[in-house]
Amino acid sequence: MNKINYIFHFDELSWNAELLNRPFNEIKIPYMKRPIFIDWINNNIQTKVYIWPGVLTPKKYEMDWGHLISPDEETTFLIFTNDGDQTRYSLEFVGSDNNIHIKTYKNGLDAYYSRKR
């Protein structure tokens, strides 16, 4: 079973109300550390994890919108579909010295508005 599901744009997330109500974990992970993190997911996560890079659509005539369509390549959001998986992630990465975890948002809308700033 493929545990990692990549969702490029917030519009895709907006069609999944159950997923939008899950916690969104903002992380910063360089490309070179991703294989290690993928191994951790495959060895420790029971169900699916969704990855969203934070891409949003700018409003018509919106100024300073480059960060919406081209987020920092190391920053992304993880959404776990299972409370146990969310807990395992939190115990492993929140407050640890690896500096991967940035913040956990209550749900998708909170993460969305964090990107709009």
Q: What is the pLDDT of residue 57?
A: 67
The tens digit of pLDDT for each residue in 75-110 reads 899 999 999 999 999 999 898 887 888 899 999 989
- Gap between the Cα atoms of 106 and 94, Å rounded: 15
pTM of the model: 0.86
Reply yes or no on whether the pLDDT at 70 is more than 90.
no
Instruction: Provide the pLDDT for residue 107.
Output: 93
Q: What is the mean pLDDT of residues 56-76?
A: 63
CA-wise closest residue to 41 among 27, 22, 55? 27
d(CA 77, CA 51): 6
- d(CA 85, CA 56) in angstroms, rounded, equals 26
Q: CA separation (Å) from 41 to 24, 26, 28, 96? A: 16, 16, 16, 17
- CATH for 4-59+73-116 (3.30.310, 1.20.5, 3.40.50, 3.30.70): 3.30.70
- Asked if residue 68 lies in contact with residue 55, where contact means CB atoms within 8 angstroms, the answer is yes
Query: pLDDT at position 53, please?
Result: 87
> CA-to-CA distance for 31 and 19, rounded, in angstroms?
25
pLDDT, position 68: 55
Q: What is the mean pLDDT of the chain?
A: 85
Which tens digits make up the pLDDT trace of 44-55? Answer: 999 999 999 887
pLDDT at 42: 94
Distance CA 93, CA 101 (A): 6
